[in-house]
Structure 1
Amino acid sequence: MTHCYRHLTAEDRAAIMMMRATHSIRSIATHLGRAPSTVSRELARHTVDPLKGYDAGLAGYRARLTRHRPRQRPKLHPDGELFEVVVYLLRKYWSPEQIARTLKRMSPRVC
């Protein structure tokens, strides 16, 4: 069973905004041909002010901002000295375990 993932379009978000006041999440999802969890997640992630409700334009803007943001922060800063050491040792075909062991031995408080 294969699924083709599609991001919500501006039209989808506008439909959610218009239907939210009078329809349930399940009926909105059925209308859009999406899973109810998709609509629920969209509302949870992109409703900024619960008093004002869901704004499709702001939601699209927020979605574009978060789409390319990494989920985790990198452990080493790319401009740091330690990053250069790790890259150098990786290019020398050291394994990550060897690098970690060597760095701990060099300075236990760094790792």
Structure 2
Amino acid sequence: MTQEARVNNTDPLNLLRNEIDGIDETIIALLEKRMRLAGRIGKVKQLRGIAVQDNSREQQILARIENQNLDPKISASIAAIYSEIFNQSRALQAEKPRKRSPRRKSRIEKIQL
């Protein structure tokens, strides 16, 4: 493919890749939001003394996805992606809250003293 074809917005390959790029941006934003929520859930679980891993909840999510009548060719791929999302969510939830250290004075504050 020539440089001109890559830049050309009417090139079908470039158009499709641009569409994927837009979808990727949306996926990243949604995953970031999901992980923030997972972190908050982890804090609630810690306060309540609940285990991080909840197999029944994970199965419930997978069943909901399965019920969306996805193309069988991609259904297994989506299940594998969600398996990794679950792994990352559990890792985030298992993190211990960091104790805040006493606030250090910034360079600007030190100079002004």
- TM-score clears 0.5: no
If the length of structure 2 is used for normalisation, what is the TM-score?
Answer: 0.29
* Structure with the larger RCO, 1 or 2 (CA within 8 Å, 6+ apart): 2
If the length of structure 1 is used for normalisation, what is the TM-score?
Answer: 0.29
